[in-house]
Chains A and B, each alone.
Chain A
């Protein structure tokens, strides 16, 4: 059933696209929080000196 492959391709494309974007956002969130925590630590150390 050839048309079934087109249906599968469309659903795969959509869900792959949505999950890829979600992973991209999650990765950015993790990196941002790491940078924020690192700078907060530096500022805390500077303040305590």
Chain B
């Protein structure tokens, strides 16, 4: 899909999601208006995990096929992913204060495993930048991403396997969410997923420009 068409789609979906969040969906009876942060927090958390899965997949393909395009995918998804993971932690914290009375709870596995994911993202960049040669950095980072993939099922299962303040999954449970709320959160997830794809493609195109610059510099020498 051409970049402008995807950007336009992202914009339309965002406007639709904002309409659903502020006009369409009813106010939750126990938490009040602050519950609407849920329609941001869930997509942020989803993209945080999706971006890392893409990073790890790109890393596996880079190590097996030795093609730079997979490294570009992994690296770009990691950069976009760290932005969304940061936003997931921030929105989660803002939601937690009025609802749980605390900004953070170390005893809640979903929170700590998401924080660990954020550190794994940073470790990916450290591994890339500390290596003396570019291909070594890409290889070390790929290994970090593959090992770090173990955190994703921990995040997903955290609310089911262990107790904590974070509520268990409600979205697809029978009677878990009002149908309007379910529709709104799913639309918000779709809107932010398209935004993630837009940002990912933008970042990959920058990688291609960086590669072009590197080639031109070699010709100039």
A33–B91 CB distance below 8 A: no
A36–B209 CB distance below 8 A: yes
- On chain B, the residues within 8 Å of A21 by CB distance are 80, 83, 199
B216–A36 CB distance below 8 A: yes
B33–A43 CB distance below 8 A: no
Q: Which of B94-102, B141-149, B156-164, B175-183 contacts A (4 or more CB under 8 A)?
A: B94-102
- On chain A, the residues within 8 Å of B217 by CB distance are 39
A25–B199 CB distance below 8 A: yes
Q: How far is the CA of A42 from the CA of B202 in the complex (A)?
A: 27
User: How many residues of chain A have a CB within 8 Å of chain B?
Assistant: 27
Cβ of B44 under 8 Å from chain A: yes
A10-21, CB under 8 A of B: which get 1 and which 0?
Answer: 110110011001
Kindly identify which residue among A6, A32, A33 contacts B34, using a CB–CB cutoff of 8 Å. A6
B residues adjacent to A (C-beta < 8 A): 31-34, 36-37, 40-41, 44, 80, 83, 86-87, 90-91, 94-95, 97-98, 195, 199, 202-203, 205-206, 209-210, 212-213, 216-217, 219-220
